[in-house]
Amino acid sequence: MARYLGPKVKLSRRVGVPIADVPKHTAKRQLTPPGMHGYRGRRLKDYGVRQNEKQKLRYHYGVLERQFRRYVDEASRGKGNTGEALLQLLEQRLDNVIRRAGFTRTVWASRQMVVHGHVLVNGKKVDRPSQAIYPGDVVTLRERGHKLARENMESMAGHVVPSWMDVNPAELTARVHALPTPDQVPFDVNTNLIVEFYR
């Protein structure tokens, strides 16, 4: 299973926005370009601007290039706006649902929770972070993952659960009752530039 194993804060610095909502990424000094002095190059051309938007979304969801391209292809085959469909597909990933529910702080932590077998979808163990979650699905945590999830929830007091899911903190379950819409995604990105990048 391929995944990025390098320094995560460097990704935030590279694209100029915090890709995770944790203090390490949101600190002001962390948004300078990586390197000893930061890269003080020329302004980005059109290609660079579109590529930067694409990288922001990729890093935010922890997806590598080949898988991201497959999501773009799938979104373009469907009806409606390709950018909105792309965001919807990425939001439906199991690792993202766990993060949005507040059981973990970052997408990397939720990915690890899934791979280690702590997550059940509709009562069955699922160990693929890319598993798509649809309306009506119930995501629960196994007993051995409860302590970690409760610690994370305590450390993220004030976390807002999106309106397309219901979370029961006592039982550590999340029920998805609707498909997410682009205005419910708490990450600012221009999907039109991403679609243009792949054309």
- pLDDT tens profile 168-179: 888 889 999 988
Percent of all residues in the chain with a pLDDT value above 70, rounded to a whole number: 89
Domain membership of residue 2 (yes or no) is: no
Q: What is the predicted pLDDT for the residue at 132?
A: 92
Same domain assignment for residues 136 and 168: yes
Domain membership of residue 183 (yes or no) is: no
Same domain assignment for residues 24 and 41: yes
Same domain assignment for residues 173 and 106: yes
What does the pLDDT look like over 12-68, one tens digit per residue?
888 888 887 776 677 666 566 666 666 666 677 889 889 989 998 999 898 999 999
Domain membership of residue 4 (yes or no) is: no
* CB atoms closer than 10 angstroms to residue 153: 18
Same domain assignment for residues 164 and 131: yes
Q: Check the CA dihedral 9-15-17-18 and report its sign.
A: negative
Same domain assignment for residues 85 and 110: no
Residue 21: Cβ-neighbour burial (10 angstroms; 0-12, 13-18, 19+): middle
Q: How confident is the model at residue 92 (pLDDT cuts 50, 70, 90)?
A: very high
What is the SS3 assignment for the chain?
CCCCCCCCHHHHHHHCCCCCCCHHHHCHHHHCCCCCCCCCCCCCCHHHHHHHHHHHHHHHHCCCHHHHHHHHHHHHHCCCCHHHHHHHHHHCEHHHHHHHHCCCCCHHHHHHHHHCCCEEECCEECCCCCCECCCCCEEEECHHHHHHHHHHHHHCCCCCCCCCEEEECCCCEEEECCCCCHHHCCCCCCHHHHHHHCC
Domain membership of residue 1 (yes or no) is: no
Cβ atoms of residues 126 and 94 within 8 Å: yes
More confident residue, 157 or 70: 70
153: pLDDT strictly greater than 60: yes
Lowest average pLDDT, out of 63-67, 115-119, 156-160, goes to: 156-160
Same domain assignment for residues 124 and 143: yes
List the domain range (segments joined by +) for residue 152. Answer: 93-178
- 124 CB-near residues (< 8 Å, 6+ apart): none
Average pLDDT, the chain: 85
| Structure token pair of residue 79 | 């009806």
Same domain assignment for residues 73 and 119: no
Q: What is the predicted pLDDT for the residue at 9?
A: 82
> How many angstroms separate the CA atoms of 144 and 6, rounded?
28
Same domain assignment for residues 102 and 174: yes
Indicate the number of domains in the chain. 2
Q: How confident is the model at residue 10 (pLDDT cuts 50, 70, 90)?
A: confident
